Structure 1
């Protein structure tokens, strides 16, 4: 008679040998010291010690899901990307949401931008679109990114995030005023990942079959509706359920309530860029919809949860440099820096062969490279030659660039970004403030004032600089903020 245990598979070591006893360490006699010959013990402990790879420096706390992108409009006049080539065409995707500043164990319900990293598994290779849930960012040049993030992370001396550091940097970087207004407004703490919009944020290039190119911005508008948390609601939720957003996304998909987004693009003819009233490649600016109305191009649906969070969410890698034919970069200086920084971070964090992992490798085509060896190399290339050109039938180049060449001129140097007719660091922040209703303005000022008031009592200079930036965006904005901060600092 067959027992239940006889029907179960045998537990093995990592080399496949059957395990005789997984309950007791081998010792020198009963109660004696452990023996080094107990290789199962050392195998398990050594693996356990290495189960965590370095967490992301930013965007460490995240959740993800697989889904489908479906084309709903003909955009072949603007791009030759095959996954956008016909209405109704579907492409598998993987989307990772994240907070920015918190570590891997941080709570979800915090005031922080949300990362929006979307991988399209296209037949021409993977296309990664890596943005945020805001259309703008705090800085416009990647050379300042490490400085900015250092102000958001723990202070080298106190080990805590310090209001002094945050507001010292923001007050000395007035270009951040627009994004800070977004962050401390009603949309600063989404109620869930399903109830927020996503943006490519940067400007990208689309090129059509004729070689004409256009500048584009991506928008993902939630079909669930925008829902946000107040600061008090977020404080309570973060303490009661730190995994709130991750849990909400997973459970929504489990019950078949698949979240969707309407995908839109703004399209700017290449010739417009030089004379547009705002620098179109400045990440701290938006293109007003009245200038370039968003056009619907597709639907994004998330419909499958990862089976293993570590393997598929934590080891997923995204690079803004993963383009496909017909899509490319722009001169956006933040984007240009990210083209290097993201893949470099993944090579360090996950390993040189991170793109071999199932979540990262192409799903609709095959990667054919001459890269070999390194950590976790799986020998997939077999006996094939690892150089090009070769006369053994190896892969060859196409001779056609993925995107269109753009004209450049002038001398090399550390140049300030070009200033366009209406470029300054405050106009769009002021426009955003004036779009808000009275209740929204009150909440914005309360949120900002509460944080600015935390600056050290002997650093009024930081407070004054910070408030002045908002005053330059809008006089009423600055006046209200000044009054709020003054009252709060009296109470300290």
Structure 2
């Protein structure tokens, strides 16, 4: 077997785990292979997004109805606050011309134009993801895209990767369940998915999960229903969202959070920064925050949706990140993708422009349309001429990290209990839909990969494996 190397021929010792300070992160910038894989992925295709290429969007308003000031000082999250927002829904794997009603995770990206700068929350319609280490992400996306030789999508590649990386099983179970094809963007929940942090006026930190619950009710499609819709309308979700807003039937989502005190991350019995795992609602119940409503369609889709640039690096005082390794990588990867896809000064475009004044020394490069003013002698920092300067009062509280840098694998190899919990929550009809959907998707995959998948299903539940076997035999 050949030894994996970088593009410069350097041997790669570990391509499964990012380099972090301690087992739970954060990640280190010295991990060249991680940065190289993410940066290369962002430049693989022109001009559409590498992932989430097919999307729909609308503008609206976030309204905070409850007092959560004991958790955060962020002005956008104070009771009574109303904030203009943009949301972009999307499929993940398909190209810009893909059909809306395909079985896929749905993107749920939000931009809030706050008084303290833009706050972007980039999530999905699922509370988890396939992976917990970003060094695997470019390879995972390769399995969802086209085989570079045949230029065809490959279910075999998808199942090969999923069965070799069993941390994917929780998300795979959701994707193959009856939740895998939402009937519309209006009829699905949204999640921040990652663990973030909230910081209050006392400089106390809380870990947080963001949830958005649709008031329109959950509605999904079967494979047969989706196939019929695709045959008639490849833009079914775009049409539904646009028309509902045009006729005044404005969709609404309730905004809720889960909260964990900072110190509890060490004693809670699981890694709260693992993106493949949910937090128990029993231990960390949902807390009401407010709601958002979508009430305005874009006037120019290209300008306002296609050129919209989201990044979890856009945060405001009182909201922060966490040692979630996938989140840490996306802080780099998303703005890097925008610089390549849209252009150096993508933030100057109207849809991405904050409502507060921008004070920056980052003025060079293409697309500078004059928004960033440069006064005489005030073009570097620090300077002696009264240019904008840092304000250390906005520093976040210290975060404790472990002191050994290494390619850490996860101690937690329990890939099965949360998928088992999800499976046990399903009724007989939902389980049968899961079996049939997996059988449809995995049919024709080679026996080695098929048997590996059945082995994993058996570990989740014997009934899970039995149901898939029977569905395969019926084909």
TM-score normalized by the length of structure 1: 0.85
Paired positions, count: 429
Q: Unaligned regions of 5+ residues in structure 2, if any? A: 1-44
1:475 CA drift (Å):
1.2
Cα deviation digits, residues 120-150 of structure 1 (max 9, x gap)? 1011100000000000111111000000000
1:418 CA drift (Å):
4.5
CA distance in 1, matches of 2:208, 2:399: 15
Aligned to 2:36: none
1:55 CA drift (Å):
0.2
1:229 aligns with one of 221, 224, 231: 221
Conservation of the 8 A alpha-carbon contact between 2:358 and 2:372? no
CA distance in 2, matches of 1:97, 1:162: 24
Higher relative contact order, structure no. (Cα contacts within 8 Å, ≥ 6 residues apart): 2
Q: 1:398 to 1:486 in 2, by over 3 A?
A: same
Matched, 1:243 2:230: no
- Root mean square deviation of aligned Cα: 1.3
Q: Unaligned regions of 5+ residues in structure 1, if any? A: 1-51
Q: What is the SS of the residue equivalent to 2:459?
A: helix
2:266 aligns with one of 263, 271, 274: 274
CA distance in 1, matches of 2:116, 2:389: 15
1:450 aligns with one of 437, 440, 443: 440
Q: 1:235 to 1:317 in 2, by over 3 A?
A: same
Counting only pairs closer than 5 Å after superposition, residues 404-483 of structure 1 correspond to structure 2 as: 404-419=397-412, 424-455=414-445, 459-483=446-470
Conservation of the 8 A alpha-carbon contact between 1:60 and 1:98? yes
Aligned to 2:392: 399
1:409 CA drift (Å):
1.6
CA distance in 2, matches of 1:280, 1:351: 35
Q: What is the SS of the residue equivalent to 1:227?
A: coil
1:439 CA drift (Å):
0.4
Matched, 1:66 2:53: no
CA distance in 1, matches of 2:151, 2:130: 23
TM-score normalized by the length of structure 2: 0.88
Moved over 4 A (4+): none
Q: 1:383 to 1:158 in 2, by over 3 A?
A: closer
Q: What is the SS of the residue equivalent to 1:191?
A: coil
Conservation of the 8 A alpha-carbon contact between 2:360 and 2:372? no
CA distance in 2, matches of 1:480, 1:80: 50
2:166 aligns with one of 174, 188, 201: 174
Aligned to 1:375: 366
Conservation of the 8 A alpha-carbon contact between 1:347 and 1:353? yes
Aligned to 2:176: 184
Q: What is the SS of the residue equivalent to 1:413?
A: strand
Cα deviation digits, residues 260-281 of structure 1 (max 9, x gap)? 0000000011121112232111
1:402 CA drift (Å):
5.0
1:342 aligns with one of 312, 330, 334: 334
